[in-house]
Structure 1
Amino acid sequence: MIQVAEALNLIAENSCKMPITKIKVDKSLGYVLAEAVYSPINMPPFRQSAMDGYAFTHGEHNQFEILKTVQAGDFSDDEIKENQAVRIFTGAFVPDDVNTVVMQEHTIVKDNLLLIEKMPATHANVRAKGEQVKKGELVLDKNTVITPAAIGFLACLGITKIKVFDKPKVAILVTGNELVSAGKKLPKGKIYESNSLMLEAALKAVGIKKTSIFKIKDSLKKTKIVIESCLSNFDVVLISGGISVGDYDYVKEALLKNGVTELFYKINQKPGKPLFFGKKENKLVFALPGNPASSLTCFYVYALPALKKLMGFEAIHLPEIKRKINSDFENTSGKTLFLKAFYDDEKVTVLESQSSAMLNTFSTANGLIVVPHDVTEVKMHQEVVILPLN
């Protein structure tokens, strides 16, 4: 049995980035750039009006003849004299012969004559060519996570495809004779199976959509066959249940028979002590506890960092923040505790129903309080470490 920090280090050391793939920009949300992107054009590609107003040459005049109108998308190379101006709109091409745009609210127009009541500074309201980014300039660096704004930025530069780290395909295996799918009649002695949907939702929340769910009975033969298939067709295998030491827990044996190398088994923590992490070639396996709260806790703390490492993220672990706890708490277990909690800007509250089988308070929690294994008590108003889940 190992400590939490050692387990996290082993996961980081044994998780490698996925292969690089080229995808369309409009499909790239949530992906991580595998190479830097440079601008193929100046942006804006021409001098551009920042306002609806009138373009003119700044000088001694404050009254001008309105020569013509330039809308966004128009181009004009007509000569514009010093006593002339053009009606212009936001985003439109600013002709070469003028250097300033006055906003229309600061003007009076009568009989095709423009009178400027409030004179702007020279070059006001004119966006310079390449003001936002110049041709050949770095647009987005390698390892940047693609956001909606990044997609818009790339599109406005005319970029249609980018190279990113691929996202892993994940298999979710749920074991147990006692499990029944929601919506079916619940016989005595059975429980509704929820972990597969919970883990699938947690994967979707981080942008992983290539998932498949497999449900198997407590059988060594069936478990071995399904795991063998998953190792052949998926990058990561998440298993829920069957990893403890009961007579019908066959997962660890089935993994070893399939050539999975055990990197650790059991962590000195609560909940989720029976956690297996292994590897076969470049395929990762997490055998999570079957109890729902334990399974989800171990997913967030251990499986999620590995998945983020595969996807190319630089920061892979849940961030840590500190808040003052509003109650006393004792830790007599000698284990690291992950406590379901709710925090605000000032304090954090330990929620009820901390049992590894209970999701009722997990569904309203927004963080996990971390109590290290060597801390025996926490006093009210003492600062504690929280792993945010939102």
Structure 2
Amino acid sequence: MFQRIELAEAVKIIIENVKQIDEKETVGIMDSLKRISAQDVVATIDNPPFDRSPLDGYALIAENTVGASRENPVVCEVIGKIFAGDASDLTLKPGQAVRIMTGAMMPKGANCVIRQEDTDYGDAVVKIYTALKPYQNYCYRGEDYKKGTKLISAGEKLNFVHLALLASMGTPIVNVFSQPKVALLVTGEELYPPGLSLDQGKIYNSNLFFIAARLKELSINPVYLQQCGDDVDIVTEKMKQALAVADLVITTGGVSVGEKDIFHDVLPKLAVDRKFWKVNLKPGTPAMFSTLENKAILNLSGNPFAALTTFELLARPALGKMARDQSILTKETTGVLESGFSRKSEVKRFVRGIYEDGRVKLPAGGHASGMLASLKDCNCLIEIEAGKNSVKAGETVKVILL
């Protein structure tokens, strides 16, 4: 097991040891949003499947409208009416028109549509006030896409447009890659679930909701959510349960060097392969990573901001690979710091911040790892390189977007 490794090395070890999910499943298109397509999707029909009108008006023959104006209208016999959804077998002859609505099938023989505002809205006969060109205001069969066109490639993350494309060709289901199964176990005798009255020395368990909600924001639905104390045997049993259902188990608490940091006793009982413990960063130094066969275990600090920081820096790269989803990976940019940060950083340090339009500022309130309130409006982590005594206002800093 490596100890006190650099962040880049920790990420490398994690990426090398997590498994990309190869399993696939078939889901209804309404349930496929933000999933990764496991198939190329090829159009099974032309869309639209027939020539149609793009507006409300009259379908007619363009050549019949030559010279039409309000002073000298062309008069056509109206032989019928077609609404969207109607099947039409009407055929136009010279001097005839059909009342037609937006999206309706074009009648045979018609090669244009005049908008109703350029007519007298006639029923039996209609006066045409404007000349049209052939195929003006005319939607062709297959003008959106032709049968056989590849609309979606395997590996694309499905968004609302993908779902609409699938629906537009009548496809009710799609093959997607299965999502990583993630378990979350939060430990600590001091933790009470929300809803109970606090006894002395106790605090409410925010980490379970903090990390579970973050997973959901990344389109990962946890399959196992548990809270327990610091009993080695109980935690070992909870870990066995989590490993039985999950590809990745994330824990918070119990990884430092105190008497209650029980994962140093729990993990050997599980016969895991511990890859590293402690990363040269703050907060979250005691992060630990292990594997068991094809499962991965990421143990994070119990302080909320330390847990979030190491989740963003270590868990997201793992999840991005497992889920085949590049959007899960963190995005980096730079910003000009509006106010200084004076704490010495012997190792790489990450500070909560608010990024906007190339500028980044520190939130009001404290920066201690156990503080949540000042994190509420933050949207980034500010990276401060090891060895810096301070960062001054006006300096350009690296920013990791949340």
TM tier, shorter chain? over 0.9
Q: In 1, Cα distance between the equivalents of 2:348 and 2:133?
A: 64
Contact kept, 8 Å, 1:240 with 1:287, in 2: the verdict is yes
Q: In 1, Cα distance between the equivalents of 2:291 and 2:148?
A: 42
Q: Specify the alignment match of 1:122 in structure 2.
A: 134
Q: In 1, Cα distance between the equivalents of 2:390 and 2:153?
A: 45
Q: Does 1:56 align with 2:69?
A: no
Residue identity matched to 1:39:
A
Q: Specify the alignment match of 1:23 in structure 2.
A: 27
Q: Specify the alignment match of 1:356 in structure 2.
A: 369
SS of the aligned residue for 1:7 comes to helix
Contact kept, 8 Å, 1:17 with 1:165, in 2: the verdict is no
Shift of 1:9: 2.3
SS of the aligned residue for 2:297 comes to strand
The 1:197/1:109 distance shift into structure 2, 3 A limit, reads closer
The 1:117/1:380 distance shift into structure 2, 3 A limit, reads farther
SS of the aligned residue for 1:378 comes to coil
Shift of 1:275: 0.6
Q: Specify the alignment match of 1:41 in structure 2.
A: 45
Q: Does 1:262 align with 2:274?
A: yes
Report the TM-score when normalising by structure 1.
0.94
> Deviation above 6 Å: which 4+ runs of structure 1?
none
Contact kept, 8 Å, 1:143 with 1:314, in 2: the verdict is no
SS of the aligned residue for 1:370 comes to strand
Residue identity matched to 1:325:
L
Q: In 1, Cα distance between the equivalents of 2:312 and 2:263?
A: 21
Contact kept, 8 Å, 2:14 with 2:314, in 1: the verdict is yes
Is the deviation greater in 372-381 or in 182-191?
372-381
Structure 1 unaligned runs (5+)? none
Is the deviation greater in 75-84 or in 33-42?
75-84
Q: In 2, Cα distance between the equivalents of 1:14 and 1:290?
A: 24
Q: 2:259 aligns with which of 232, 247, 264?
A: 247
Q: How many residues are aligned here?
A: 389
Structure 2 unaligned runs (5+)? 69-73
Percent identity between the aligned chains? 34
Q: In 2, Cα distance between the equivalents of 1:252 and 1:103?
A: 77
The CA RMSD over aligned residues, in Å, is 1.9
Contact kept, 8 Å, 1:306 with 1:316, in 2: the verdict is no
Q: Specify the alignment match of 2:380 in structure 1.
A: 367
Q: How does 1:178-257 map to 2 (within 5 A)?
A: 178-257=190-269
Contact kept, 8 Å, 2:306 with 2:369, in 1: the verdict is yes
Contact kept, 8 Å, 1:66 with 1:85, in 2: the verdict is yes
Q: Specify the alignment match of 1:75 in structure 2.
A: 87
Q: In 2, Cα distance between the equivalents of 1:315 and 1:364?
A: 22
Q: Specify the alignment match of 2:13 in structure 1.
A: 10
Shift of 1:360: 1.0
Is the deviation greater in 348-357 or in 6-15?
6-15
Report the TM-score when normalising by structure 2.
0.91
Q: 2:309 aligns with which of 277, 281, 297?
A: 297
Q: Does 1:308 align with 2:320?
A: yes
Is the deviation greater in 371-380 or in 36-45?
371-380
Q: Specify the alignment match of 2:71 in structure 1.
A: none
Residue identity matched to 1:354:
H
The 1:111/1:104 distance shift into structure 2, 3 A limit, reads closer
Q: Specify the alignment match of 2:357 in structure 1.
A: 345
Residue identity matched to 2:285:
K
Q: Specify the alignment match of 1:153 in structure 2.
A: 165
